[in-house]
Amino acid sequence: MTQGSRLYFAVTVLMCAFVSINGVGLNDLLERASQLSDKLHSLSTSLTNDLDSHFPPVGRVMMPRPSMCHTSSLQIPNDKDQALKIPEDELLSLARSLLLAWSDPLALLSSEASSLAHPERNTINSKTKELQDNINSLGAGLEHVFHKMGSSSDNLSSLPFYTNSLGQDKTSRLVNFHFLLSCFRRDSHKIDSFLKVLRCRAAKKRPEMC
């Protein structure tokens, strides 16, 4: 079994785990969510490596700055120590807000992947669709976590995405695809970190053990 096949199998198992959750405790829900978020970050990293394998030098020059990511305005903790100081419901809201913000961008990436000017476009197309499916599954899982936590606040930040095209020429489309993916990779790491902190707190572990 190839690395991609193992990753796909693992994520599929985790997605199925969210189908039947009646009676599942908060600790188990957070364990499943953090495992899936870890797989999402691994998949986005693998996609980035695929793109980098044949990325034009001019693309590095054209690449927008990270501050141009559409989620950059969201105020979030910069490291684990800061995350540990944030109440659980706020931390969960940050993770859910980031996931929601990627619904439209990932749909755009999924629609553009098959026509990229890249020799690995078939692999990129397949992995991008996996990302889109799996983030939807994680989003549904976090809804269950939200209700299980019994939070009275459902304060999700709005992070609109206004772009409906990656560009007119093949180089611009490839660069903007890579840029969006780099933004998602950064955010998937944040989501994964937040969920691991929530999992640690639910297990009543000491902060230094998180």
User: How much is the pLDDT for 2?
Assistant: 54
pLDDT one-digit tens code per residue, 106-158: 999 999 999 999 999 999 999 999 999 899 899 999 998 998 887 666 788 88
**Helix, strand, coil shares, percent, the chain, to 5:** 70, 0, 30
Residue 2 lies in a domain: no
23: left (phi over 0), alpha (psi -120 to 50) or beta: left
The reply to whether 30 falls in a domain is yes
Does 15 map to a domain?
no
Q: Considering the chain, what percentage of its residues have pLDDT values greater than 70?
A: 87
194 domain-assigned = yes
Residue 5 lies in a domain: no
pLDDT attached to residue 59: 78
Domain that residue 51 falls in: 25-209
Closest CA to 190 of 60, 68, 102, 65: 102
- Report if residue 168 sits inside a domain: yes
In a domain, 177, yes or no: yes
Average pLDDT, the chain: 85
pLDDT at 210: 74
φ, ψ of residue 161 to 5 degrees: the values are: -120, 115
* pLDDT over 90, % of the chain: 52
In a domain, 12, yes or no: no
**Residue 171 maps to which CATH number?**
1.20.1250.10
CA gap 127, 47 in Å, rounded: 7
pLDDT at position 19 is 47
How many separate domains does the chain show? Answer: 1
Q: How far apart are CA 177 and CA 137, in angstroms?
A: 23
